[in-house]
Amino acid sequence: QKEVEQNSGPLSVPEGAIASLNCTYSDRGSQSFFWYRQYSGKSPELIMFIYSNGDKEDGRFTAQLNKASQYVSLLIRDSQPSDSATYLCAVRYNNNDMRFGAGTRLTVKP
């Protein structure tokens, strides 16, 4: 079973703080990992991808991957109210199958 697990939240952080979102996956045959942001009633949009162990930074966002422990995380520095959304973790497997987690709802309070 290819499972992708996320804490559904809601996760609430004050403006300017670091938001930490976590995701675990069950299948070691995973190739690449994605974070999507989804505003209420809108479609998911890709914000980060990572496929090597370690950290990948893009502006205020950092994705972290640990394949041995089968988890991937997303850090959002200097969180802004506009970051309030649901964040979906997605895992692509060797056969190109992509599975999504249920998402973590983040609220950034001014």
Partner 1 sequence: DADVTQTPRNRITKTGKRIMLECSQTKGHDRMYWYRQDPGLGLRLIYYSFDVKDINKGEISDGYSVSRQAQAKFSLSLESAIPNQTALYFCATSDRDRPIHGYTFGSGTRLTVV
Q: Which residues bind partner 1 (CB under 8 A)?
A: 4, 8, 31-32, 34, 36, 42-46, 49, 51, 88, 90, 92, 96-103
Burial of 19 (0-12, 13-18, 19+ CB in 10 A): buried
54 bridge partner residues: 65
Q: Is the CB of 25 or the CB of 36 nearer to partner 1?
A: 36
Q: Is the CB of 42 or the CB of 77 nearer to partner 1?
A: 42
Cα–Cα distance for residue pair 83/75, rounded to 1 Å = 12
Compute the least distance from the CB of residue 64 to partner 1, in Å: 17
Cα–Cα distance for residue pair 109/42, rounded to 1 Å = 21
Q: Is the CB of 91 or the CB of 108 nearer to partner 1?
A: 91
